[in-house]
Structure 1
C-alpha cells in the first residue's frame, strides 16, 4: 500500500540562507530510508499514480507525491541543500481513525465489552483460535455441548486451537480429538481443596449420564476408516475432565490406542471417572509413542489413575495421582521412560506399578524414576515386577505411610517392593518413613521399608528405611542383592531412632551374609501373626547371659526376643533351663546368683538336686533327684507349657507338676532306653506362670531328671536360649540319632527356624585344635540340617563371641575365625565375629563399658570374657539387622 506525502503547509523545498529559509520553486530532490546513509527510494509516483524518477517542487516550492508500495509511513527527502528532512505520510490520521472504528467489530481488533470480556467471534481473526461458543457450545452446565465441541474440533486445522472459555461443558458421548488439535481451557482445577466448591471454579468438561462411549476423550491412531494410521501432536492444556456425574464403572477419562505420537498434556486434570483416568492400548500391535505429561492431576478415579501400556519414550513430569480406588500409575512395558517429580497418594492399591515384559530387543530400554514420592497407598508404594533385561533406575525416592491395607497395616507391604522382577533394579537415595493417618487412626505402616523377593538383580546403594516390622526385608529368594555402605534400617513407630546399618552380602567388618541367606527364617517370621517363629540360641556363658542384670531378659538372646516380639508378636518366654539354678550357679557365681534370684531369673529348688553328667536334652544339661518331694520352680509365659524330663533304662519315680498353685498332676516316667519325655499343658492364659516340678514317691536310684520348662504361644516369635556356661564345641556336637544332645539343640527334636551357635572361647582356653573345633561344629550342623526328618529348612548364624583375655596361652581363636567363615560358606550360613568387630581388643570393649562383673550384675567391670548389660546390647545390635531386617 502507498501512502501520500506532502501537500501540507510544512511540506516545501527550502534553503537556509543566513537566518532565513527561502522557498525554491522547481527544486529537484530524492527520497531516502534514513537521515544519513540508508537506501534511496525510487518506487514513487505522483498524486495521479504516474511513476516519477525523483521529487520536483511546484511553482510555489510545495512537494506532494505517493510513497513506495510497501506501507512506508515516513521517509527522508534531500533537495541538495546540505541535509535531509523527514516527511510523514499525511493519511496516517485517517487510517488510525478507521482502525479505532473497527474495535469490537467482526474482523476488527479485539475489544473488551462492558462485562470485561472479549467477544469470542473476534478471537479467531486475531489468534487463529476456534472458540467453542462459535460452534454453539454454551458451557452453562445444562446444555448438551457434545455436538458443538465435536464440530469445533472437526473445524480446527492441524496446529490450531479449540478454546473453551470459562464454563461447564456437559457432554453425553466421547469426543474424538483430531490429529494436531489443541484443546485448551481457561483453567485446570488441580483439586477442589478444603473450603472450595465446584461452583467456585466452573471450568471443565463434565460428561453426564446417559453417556455413549468408553471415554470422555479418545485419541486414535488406526486406519479404521475414521482415523488416520498415524495420529499425533494433540494437546490438552488448562483443562479438566470431571466424571462426578457419571454412573457405571466402564468410562475412562482419556483413552488412546495405536500409533498416537507426541501427545502433550499440560495443566490437565481428570477426576472421579467411573473407571481409569488415562488409558492407552494397542492397535494392530502398535502403541502410543513419545508422550509428555506435565503438571497433570488424576484425582479419585474409581479404578486406576494412569494405565499406560507400551508407551515408549514417555515423560511424566510433576504428575500426581491421588485417591484412585485401584493403582496410581501403572506402566507396562513403557521403555525409555522418565518419571520426574511425580507423586502417588492415598490410592487403594499400589502407588506405582512397573510391570510387564520390558524385553531386551535392540532399541528397547528401561526407565528412570527421579525425585518421586508416595504417601498412604493401600499396598506397596512402588512395586516392580517387570521382566526383561532393561534396567529400572530409581533415585531420590521418598516413600511414606504406604501399605495402609485398609488401615490394618501388615500384609507384607513395603514402600519399595521388588518382587519377581527379572529386570535389573538399581535404587539409590531411597527413604521410607512409616506412620498412621493424619487424624491418628490406622496402624503404623508400611510393614517393610523395602521388600526384595524372587528377583534377579537388585542394587540398593544408599537408603534410610524405617518401617513397622523391618527396614529391609530380603527373603533370600533373590538372585543377586548388592547393598551399599549407606543402608540404614529402623523398626517401629515414627519416634524410633534405633538406626542400624544393614550387613551387606559379602561382608561388612566381622559379618558375612551370603546372598539368599535367611529365606527360611524370614518366611516364618513374616507368618508369625498366624504361626510360631522359633529361634534357638546355643553357646557358653556369653550367650547364657553372664553377667547381665537378668540373664533371661538382658542377655543378647533376651534383647533379641524383646525387639522381635514387640514387632512380630509374643511367642512366649521360651525355655527356662536348669542351668540357671542354684545347684549349677552357686559354686562359682554366688554374687550373681543372689542378684539373679532377686530378679526372678533363676530356677529355685527345694530338697536335694544334682547336676547330670550326660549331655541330654535341650540345653545339654539336667538336674536329677531321688528324694521324694524335692521341687524345682520355673517361670514360663504362654498359653502352653512344656516340661522336658529325661527317662532311662531303670525304673523312674513319677514326676509331679503344678501350675500357679494348682493341684499336683502325676506323670509317669516310663523305663526304657534314654530319651526325653515332653509333658505338654495347653489351654493356659497368656501370662507368666509358676510351674513347680516335684519328685513323686521314690526309692534309691529312682530319679526324676529335669531339663527345663518352656512357655509358648500359638503365634509370634519365641527365643529359646539353650546356652550352658562352660560349653565347648563338643558339647553340642554329637549328631547321632541315638544321642540326646545335638538333635535336641536346634535339631529335629527341638528345632528352630533360626539357630544361632556361639561356642568358641571355652574351646580356645581348652586348647581345642581348629580341626577338632570345626569337626564338632560341622557335626552339630549336620544334626540341624540333615538328621532324622530334617530337610535343611532352617537358617543358621555361626558366631564367635569376643575372646577378651580368655586365651592368652593357646592362641587358637584366629583359626576358629578362619574355619568359621569357611563353614559358613559351605553351609550357606551367616557368620558374625564379635572379636573382629571389637577390634580384637579387650581394652577397646573395656573403654566402652562392655565387660561385666559377677559382683555387680549388669554394671561395667573387668571380667575377662563376660559382659555387662551394655555389652550384651552391643552384641544384640550386631545381630538385629540380620535377624530383624
Structure 2
C-alpha cells in the first residue's frame, strides 16, 4: 500500500517556537519522542509507523537539531497530529505526498527511462514513457493518459510546429547533441543530421573540429518546383572548423536545385580540394540550376599557405539569385569562382559583399566569372579585396572569360595588391564595369588586359613602386562601335618607373591624372577631348622640328622661319597630340613630314587646309597616331590671331 509521507529531510523541516494562526509550534528538544494522533484533541493514536527506510516504529523522534524526519504510517492519508510527551501539546503535520493532505505517493522506481513523465489518468497516477527524437507532447483526450507523443505535422491546419533542428557535437566539445562525433569521418554524423531534417530544417554544429572523410551534401531536387530551406550553421568561423581530408573533392557541396544557407564556420583544405562547391542539376525540370535563393555568410576557407594547394575556396557553378557576404579565403591556390556550364541556363543575379582573398602560388586567380556555355551576368562585387605574393607569376586578381558570354558585371570599392594582372577581360566578355579604389602593382604587371568590349575601368590611386615597368592598359578590343573606356585614373609613378599603355585608336582614355618622378606613357596623360594635366612641352626651333611623343601630348614651338615639323618619335597607338605653332618675327608656313612615322592630312569633308601663320599668331594642329599605317592623321588645323 502506498504511504503518505510526513516531515522533511534533514535540511527541510526545523520546528521553532512560534505561533502560526491558531496553532502553537514549540521548539522540539533534540531526541524528543512524539506520538502520532488522528485529531487535535481526542482521536486515536497511530502506532503503525514506519521510517522512510522501511523500519517499524511507534513514535516519531526528533533528531539532534530538533528536526522531524520523513516517516509514514501504513494506510493513513489524512493530516496527523504529533503530541509532545512533556507538555501534552499536539502539533498538526500535513502530508507532503499522498491522499488527504497531498496525493498518492509515487515510488522512484515508477520512472524507468530518461525523459519519462508522470501523468494522471482518470483513476490513477502513472508513467508516460519518453517519445522518439523529434516528437512533441500532444493533448489527446482519446488516450488513457490524456496526452501522447506525436511526430509534428509539416505545417498547415493552424497547429504550431517546433523548429526542425538537429545539433551535431564535435568530439571533445563537452556537448551532447542529436549526433555526436568521435573525430573520425565526422561527415557521417553531419550528413545524417542533414538527411534527418530533410529540405526544411536547420543543422547546428558546435564549436570544435569536424574531420571530413567525404564531401557533405546539401542536396536539393531535380525539380525547381520542389522548394525548401536547409540551414547549416556553426558557432563562428574561428570556433567551428570543417577539416577537409586529403583527396576529398570538397568540404560541402550545394547540389541540384537547392535552397540552402551556410554560415558561421571555417574550412581547411589541402591538395586540390575545394572548400565549398555548387554542382548543378542536369535536368530541364530543375532549369539546370544548383543553389538558388541561397547564401554563404561569415565563412573562412584556409589553405596550407605553402603554395601546394590548387583548388578553390568557393567554386560555384550555375548558382542563381545568390548572396555571399563576409567570406575570407586565404592560403589557397585560388579564391572564389562563379561559373555557368550549360547553354540552357543563365547563371548570375548574385551579390558578393565584403569578401577577402589572399592566394598563394603561381597562376592562381582570386575572383573569376567564367561562362563556358550560355550566359552569366548581373553579378555585383562590392568591397572585395585581393592580395597575391609579388614573387608569384601568372596571378590574376579578377578574371572574366569563357567561351560563353560573361557580361553585365559590376565591381565597386574593390582593391588589388601585387598581382601579375589586376583585371583580365576575355574576348567573349563585355560590359564589365570596374571600380578599383586602390591598386598596388609590381614590376612586370598589367593593370587592365582588355580583349572584350564596352568595358569601363576606373581606379583610385595606382601605386607603381620604384624601378618597376608596368602596363597600365593593354587594350585589344576589335569592336570599334563599343570601345573600352579607361578613366578616371590616378597614377603615382615612383623613381625609375615606366608606365606603358597599348590602346586601340578608338579606345576612350580620359580623366587621367599622374604624379611622381617616373615616366608615364603620353596616351595616359591626355584622353580624347581632354586637356593635358601638365604645361605644354616646349620644342626646339630648327629647320626640322623634332618631337618625342612619349614626353606628352601637347607641344609648343616658336617658328622663326618656315619650318618642317618632323615625324614624331616614340608614339603610342591611339595617342592624340596637339602642336602649337607660333609665328615669330613674321609670317611662317609650316610643312609636315610625310613618309613612315610622318603626317597625313585629312582630305575628306571638310578637308584640312594648312596655311601660313600670320606674325604673332598661333596655329593649333591636332593629330592622332594610327599604328597600323604608322602615320599621324591631322584632323584639324586652326588659326588663332594674336590680340
TM over 0.5: yes
Going from structure 1 to structure 2, the CA distance change for 1:150 and 1:289 (only over 3 Å counts) comes to: same
What's 1:459 paired with? 485
What's 1:279 paired with? 315
CA contact (8 A) 1:234 1:263 kept: yes
Matched, 1:476 2:503: yes
Compute the RMSD of aligned alpha carbons.
5.0
SS of 2:421's equivalent in the other structure is coil
What's 2:434 paired with? 394
SS of 1:256's equivalent in the other structure is strand
What's 1:332 paired with? 370
Task: Give 2:293's match in structure 1, choosing from 262, 276, 289.
Answer: 262
TM-score between both structures, scaled by the size of structure 1: 0.41
Deviation for aligned residue 1:829 = 4.8
Deviation for aligned residue 1:235 = 1.4
- Inter-partner Cα distance in structure 1 for 2:234 and 2:562: 79
What's 1:154 paired with? 195
Deviation for aligned residue 1:205 = 0.7
Deviation for aligned residue 1:175 = 1.3
Task: Give 1:781's match in structure 2, choosing from 570, 590, 594.
Answer: 594
Deviation for aligned residue 1:263 = 2.3
CA contact (8 A) 2:241 2:267 kept: yes
Matched, 1:765 2:582: no
CA contact (8 A) 2:323 2:351 kept: yes
What's 1:71 paired with? none
Deviation for aligned residue 1:811 = 3.6
What's 1:293 paired with? 324
- Inter-partner Cα distance in structure 1 for 2:211 and 2:377: 37
- Inter-partner Cα distance in structure 2 for 1:725 and 1:335: 55
Q: Equivalences for 1:608-647 in 2 at 5 Å? A: none
Deviation for aligned residue 1:481 = 1.0
- Inter-partner Cα distance in structure 2 for 1:372 and 1:143: 40
CA contact (8 A) 1:129 1:160 kept: yes
Going from structure 1 to structure 2, the CA distance change for 1:353 and 1:445 (only over 3 Å counts) comes to: farther
What's 2:461 paired with? 432
Going from structure 1 to structure 2, the CA distance change for 1:832 and 1:344 (only over 3 Å counts) comes to: farther
- Inter-partner Cα distance in structure 2 for 1:132 and 1:766: 94
Q: Equivalences for 1:693-704 in 2 at 5 Å? A: none
Q: Equivalences for 1:3-14 in 2 at 5 Å? A: none
What's 2:348 paired with? 312
Give per-residue Cα distances to partners, 1:475-517, cap 9 Å, x unaligned: 2325331524xx3122457xx99x9993221353899x9xxxx
Give per-residue Cα distances to partners, 1:638-684, cap 9 Å, x unaligned: xxxxxxxxxxxxxxxxxxxxxxxxxxxxxxxxxxxxxxxxxxxxxxx
Task: Give 2:423's match in structure 1, choosing from 382, 392, 411.
Answer: 382
- Inter-partner Cα distance in structure 1 for 2:321 and 2:498: 37
Deviation for aligned residue 1:331 = 1.1
What's 2:53 paired with? none
Going from structure 1 to structure 2, the CA distance change for 1:136 and 1:128 (only over 3 Å counts) comes to: closer
What's 1:184 paired with? 233
Deviation for aligned residue 1:264 = 0.7
Task: Give 1:353's match in structure 2, choosing from 391, 399, 402.
Answer: 399
Deviation for aligned residue 1:461 = 4.8
- Inter-partner Cα distance in structure 2 for 1:830 and 1:510: 22
Q: Equivalences for 1:36-75 in 2 at 5 Å? A: none
CA contact (8 A) 1:235 1:264 kept: yes
Give per-residue Cα distances to partners, 1:617-655, cap 9 Å, x unaligned: xxxxxxxxxxxxxxxxxxxxxxxxxxxxxxxxxxxxxxx
Deviation for aligned residue 1:132 = 1.5
CA contact (8 A) 1:536 1:752 kept: no
Deviation for aligned residue 1:168 = 0.5
- Inter-partner Cα distance in structure 2 for 1:129 and 1:323: 36
Deviation for aligned residue 1:169 = 0.5
Q: Equivalences for 1:59-208 in 2 at 5 Å? A: 106=115, 127-133=163-169, 134=177, 136-138=179-181, 142-179=183-220, 180-189=229-238, 201=239, 203-208=240-245
Give the gaps of 5 or more residues in structure 2. 1-102, 104-110, 118-131, 137-161, 170-176, 221-228, 281-288, 341-346, 601-609
- Inter-partner Cα distance in structure 2 for 1:107 and 1:380: 67
- Inter-partner Cα distance in structure 2 for 1:435 and 1:760: 35
Q: Equivalences for 1:357-368 in 2 at 5 Å? A: 359=405, 366-368=408-410
What's 1:699 paired with? none
SS of 2:452's equivalent in the other structure is coil
Task: Give 1:216's match in structure 2, choosing from 223, 242, 251.
Answer: 251
Deviation for aligned residue 1:288 = 2.4
Matched, 1:413 2:446: yes
- Inter-partner Cα distance in structure 2 for 1:373 and 1:464: 14
Deviation for aligned residue 1:834 = 13
- Inter-partner Cα distance in structure 2 for 1:726 and 1:492: 31
Q: Equivalences for 1:832-871 in 2 at 5 Å? A: none
Give per-residue Cα distances to partners, 1:120-171, cap 9 Å, x unaligned: x999976431111345432x6x433121122112112212111110110011
CA contact (8 A) 2:571 2:625 kept: no
Going from structure 1 to structure 2, the CA distance change for 1:412 and 1:342 (only over 3 Å counts) comes to: closer
Going from structure 1 to structure 2, the CA distance change for 1:478 and 1:182 (only over 3 Å counts) comes to: farther
Give the gaps of 5 or more residues in structure 1. 1-93, 95-101, 109-120, 190-200, 222-230, 282-286, 437-442, 514-534, 545-555, 564-722, 734-744, 788-799, 842-885
Q: How many residues are treated as equivalent by the alignment?
A: 426
SS of 1:144's equivalent in the other structure is coil
Give per-residue Cα distances to partners, 1:90-147, cap 9 Å, x unaligned: xxxx9xxxxxxx9xx7599xxxxxxxxxxxx999976431111345432x6x433121
What's 2:414 paired with? 372
TM-score between both structures, scaled by the size of structure 2: 0.55
CA contact (8 A) 1:368 1:392 kept: yes
- Inter-partner Cα distance in structure 1 for 2:550 and 2:501: 19
SS of 2:192's equivalent in the other structure is helix
CA contact (8 A) 2:401 2:429 kept: no
CA contact (8 A) 1:106 1:122 kept: no
CA contact (8 A) 1:316 1:340 kept: yes
- Inter-partner Cα distance in structure 1 for 2:300 and 2:624: 60
What's 1:813 paired with? 617
What's 2:605 paired with? none
- Inter-partner Cα distance in structure 1 for 2:385 and 2:462: 15
CA contact (8 A) 2:469 2:498 kept: no
Q: Equivalences for 1:868-879 in 2 at 5 Å? A: none
- Inter-partner Cα distance in structure 1 for 2:525 and 2:567: 26
Going from structure 1 to structure 2, the CA distance change for 1:452 and 1:824 (only over 3 Å counts) comes to: closer
Going from structure 1 to structure 2, the CA distance change for 1:382 and 1:304 (only over 3 Å counts) comes to: same
Q: Equivalences for 1:685-696 in 2 at 5 Å? A: none
SS of 2:354's equivalent in the other structure is strand
Matched, 1:540 2:581: no
Going from structure 1 to structure 2, the CA distance change for 1:467 and 1:289 (only over 3 Å counts) comes to: farther
Going from structure 1 to structure 2, the CA distance change for 1:560 and 1:182 (only over 3 Å counts) comes to: closer
SS of 1:153's equivalent in the other structure is helix
- Inter-partner Cα distance in structure 2 for 1:214 and 1:368: 31
Q: Equivalences for 1:654-665 in 2 at 5 Å? A: none
SS of 2:195's equivalent in the other structure is helix
Task: Give 1:490's match in structure 2, choosing from 515, 518, 534.
Answer: 515
Deviation for aligned residue 1:370 = 1.4
Deviation for aligned residue 1:339 = 0.8
Deviation for aligned residue 1:726 = 7.3
Looking at secondary structure, tell me which structure has more strand per residue: 2
- Inter-partner Cα distance in structure 2 for 1:759 and 1:267: 60
CA contact (8 A) 1:262 1:290 kept: yes
Going from structure 1 to structure 2, the CA distance change for 1:461 and 1:123 (only over 3 Å counts) comes to: farther
Deviation for aligned residue 1:185 = 0.6
Deviation for aligned residue 1:268 = 1.0
Of structures 1 and 2, the one scoring higher in RCO (CA 8 A, sep 6+) is: 1
